Amino acid sequence: MGDGSTAAFAEPARWQPERPRLRPTRLVLSWLVGALALLGAAAIVPGVRVEGFLGAAVVAILVGILNALLPPLIAALRLPFTLALNFLLVLVADAMMLLAADSLTHSAISIPSFRRALLTALVVAAVTIVLEVLFGTNDDDEFTFRVVRRVARRQGEVVRTDAPGILFLEIDGLALPVLRRAMRDGNAPTMARWLAEHDYQLTRWETDLSSQTGASQAGILLGSNDDIPAFRWVEKETATMMTCSAPSDCAEIERRHASGKGLLLDGGASRGNLLSGEADEVILTVSRIEAEKGANPGYRAFFANGFNVTRVLVLFFWEVILEWVAALRAIRRDVRPRGHRGGIYPLIRAAMCVIVRDLIVYGVLTDMMRGRPAVYATFSSYDEVAHHSGLERADTLEALRKLDQQFGRIDLARRYAPRPYEIVVLSDHGQTQGATFRQRNGYGLDDLVQRSLEGIDVSEMAGGDEQDAMVGHALGEATGRSGKKKRPKNDVSDQPVVVMGSGNLGLVYLMDERRRLTLEEIAERHPRLIGALREHPHVGWLLVRSSQHGPLVLGGGGAHYLANGRVEGEDPLAQFSPNAPRHLLRTDGFAHVADIMIGSFYDPALDEGCAFEELISFHGGLGGPQTEAFILHPQRLTPPGEPLIGAAHVNEVLRGWRAELLGAGGAGVFSPR
């Protein structure tokens, strides 16, 4: 019998899942909380009247019955744009249930209009959240697991087997040193418990250049991230810009790199990733965003409970308020460095920290109850908040704590799944902190390049981060709005020079030739450019290709010849990882490497660098914890026998674990109907 612990199954015994129990005392307490929440809503919403506690109790029972009937019917509908339409339909259903209670009881509750009913439903959700915390009913997931199991059975694809499945839970942007401190300080108690009590271990892995989600997930999920030099890059032969968050570009990246090494082949599921890993089923996966336009059953478990919709809306607006308060506090305390936190960022943060997170959690729970052999889910809330708030600020660590809490929920669900599961938590990269290049200098990298050229206009393509772009593209596609203009946004054929920022990695493309220019050609055409860049105090190194010396790294006081390892003067890579020359040499061999690759400075004493975007915590280049990713895994899975360098190496290890677990339990390949 599963006990919900990390060692969730014993090898000699056959797996026997438990059944989620309905606890009468919990049901009664939840009913009373619902009645009190209705009374609270009636006191808040003008025009809404509830006839005392008895009337509220009667309405709470009726709403509970209707909630068990209507939302599951809506969730089962095969609708296009499932996420958007179901969200709206269930929200309408929540309001209609209150109006139905008004009609059926005649006197217990009075609601004058649909708008008041909708507002009442939201207020009831808000009051319920508060009361559940006070009464301690917010930690009971038995009802959720029962609903998810029922949804899984109705989809007709449940696999029952002793062969263990594996859940890969990625925390976007969390560095190993930050995780260790979070465990120590109580900000990741679930993962700390696994490490302390349940035979888990932490393994470090070093990211490639570029240390960002697109490159890392290509390596982890597909087994190769060749020719992905940054989050954005230009393909000079076609004068097009590629971006690791654009759906069409992610689809092309997956087409180029899929080679049968997909981590999620043979029945796996992709949840919230940039790339699918060759999975059979996806939700919120950018490379296969077309799935969001059709009827997607991956959301059914979430929408089968109408309270989920009102709850996430309430928590969404609460997260927006938390962001506003945190931003004002940072200004009042004059916290430095301080990131840009205005515009639509509070909405993006709330979407990532509440709506997207909960949708992915329900997707993972459904996959478990269906017995899928492998699931890879990316949670981006920590990364999103860290970019703007800072690496280990209070609200950043709070986002991590809430995520850790959801991992505990997934851990608990294992005892009810039709097969045993192992949980592996990993990150795709870390982050490094520091004031931005523009904050330090009053001008951007594009401005520095502009004034170092001879009468040429520079196109600056930096700005925004992975999640901002990902959410914007995904919402546009999911609602049927592509946002395309007559001239493609990624067409740079009319730009003489393109400057891009990918965290603290800069890229300069000189577009007068449809090939990479050599150092000698750059010096001849733009004699001041290389000197201006390498002498700047906030530039750490330049990667260029010399026709005479091959790949060459230049710094303010010296040069590093990558072909033979020779160093002249001060080594520009001295402050970085010992593997930095290896990473740069590999990147130099990419077909679409920039004419000039630029890395920011890194100060190991202060542990800071600077981004060429307006992000105070960043990743993409070299220096600091941004390259220190981790894997938290059960010790029973064979650990790698050598240091893990590069995302493709991680793919080999994770695929090996899938094979190891399948062999331990015999047959059990998922074959959807």
Residue 159 φ then ψ, to 5°: -110, 120
Q: What pLDDT is attached to residue 6?
A: 41
Amino acid at 436: T
Q: Choose among 556, 519, 557, 562: nearest CA to 539.
A: 556
| Cα separations in angstroms, 552 against 257, 590, 661 | 28, 15, 45
The whole-number pLDDT of residue 320 equals: 96
Rounded to a whole number of angstroms, the distance between the first and last alpha carbons of the chain is 28
Report the candidate in 344, 610, 614, 346 with the shortest Cα–Cα distance to residue 464.
614
Identify the pLDDT of residue 673: 32
Torsion, CA 368, CA 369, CA 373, CA 379, rounded to 10: -20
Task: Identify the pLDDT of residue 470.
Answer: 46
| CA-closest candidate to residue 297, choices 143, 155, 144 | 155
Please name the helix (run of DSSP H) or strand (run of DSSP E) that holds residue 235, with its range, or none: strand 232-235
Residue indicated by tokens 């010296």: 558
Taking Cα atoms as reference points, which of 377, 436, 402 lies closest to residue 322? 402
Assess whether the previous peptide bond of 546 is cis (omega < 30° from 0). no
Q: What single string gives the DSSP state of each residue in 466-503? A: HHHHHHHHHHHHHTT-----SS-TTB-TT-SEEEEEET
What is the tens place of the pLDDT at every residue in 36-82?
999 999 999 999 999 889 988 999 899 989 988 898 899 888 889 98
In the DSSP assignment, the letter for residue 297 is G
Tell me the C-alpha distance between 406 and 645, whole Å: 29
- The residues near 112 (Cβ < 8 Å, ≥ 6 apart) are 47, 48
DSSP 411-443: HHHGGGSSS-EEEEEE-S---EE---HHHHHSS
Q: HSE (CB half, 13 Å, CA atoms) of 245? A: 19
Closest CA to 501 of 451, 466, 456: 466
Specify the pLDDT at position 40: 92
Q: What pLDDT score was predicted for residue 456?
A: 75
If we measure between CA atoms, which residue out of 628, 610, 604, 601 comes closest to residue 337? 610
**Residue 497 β-bridge partners:** 458, 510
Q: Confirm if 449 and 194 have CB atoms less than 8 A apart.
A: no
Strand pairing report for 200-206 and 628-634: antiparallel
> In this predicted structure, what is the pLDDT of residue 281?
93
Residues contacting residue 248 through CB under 8 Å, at least 6 positions apart? none
pLDDT at 182: 97
Q: What's the pLDDT score for residue 286? A: 96
Q: Are 574 and 586 in contact (CB under 8 A)?
A: no
CA distances from 382 to 350, 385, 407, 436 (A): 12, 5, 14, 20
CB atoms within 10 A of CB 560: 24
What are the domain boundaries of the chain?
24-135, 438-469+491-618
What pTM was computed for the model? 0.91
pLDDT score of 630: 98
Pairing of strands 539-546, 566-569: unpaired
- Read off the DSSP letter of residue 141: -
Q: Which residue ranges of the chain lie beneath pLDDT 50?
A: 1-12, 467, 469-485, 666-673
Give the integer Cα–Cα distance in Å for 341 and 335.
13
How many whole angstroms separate alpha carbon 298 and alpha carbon 310? 19
Predicted local distance difference test score (pLDDT) of residue 139: 62
The Cα angle at residue 573 between residues 568 and 574, in degrees rounded to 5:
85
Beta-carbon contacts of 41 under 8 Å, excluding residues fewer than 6 positions away, are 48, 120, 123, 124, 127
CB 343, CB 463: distance < 8 Å: no
CA distances (Å), origin 66, targets 150, 360, 510:
17, 26, 63
pLDDT of 13 reads 61
CA distance 286 to 159: 27
Using left for φ > 0, alpha for ψ between -120 and 50, and beta otherwise, residue 44 falls in: alpha
Structure tokens at 619: 């990743």
The 3-state DSSP class for residue 630 equals strand
Number of Cβ within 10 Å of residue 44's Cβ equals 14
Q: Which two tokens stand for residue 558?
A: 């010296």
pLDDT score recorded for residue 154: 87
What's residue 156's pLDDT? 75
At residue 646, φ and ψ (nearest 5 deg) are 95, 150
Give the whole-angstrom CA distance, residue 437 versus residue 424.
Answer: 36
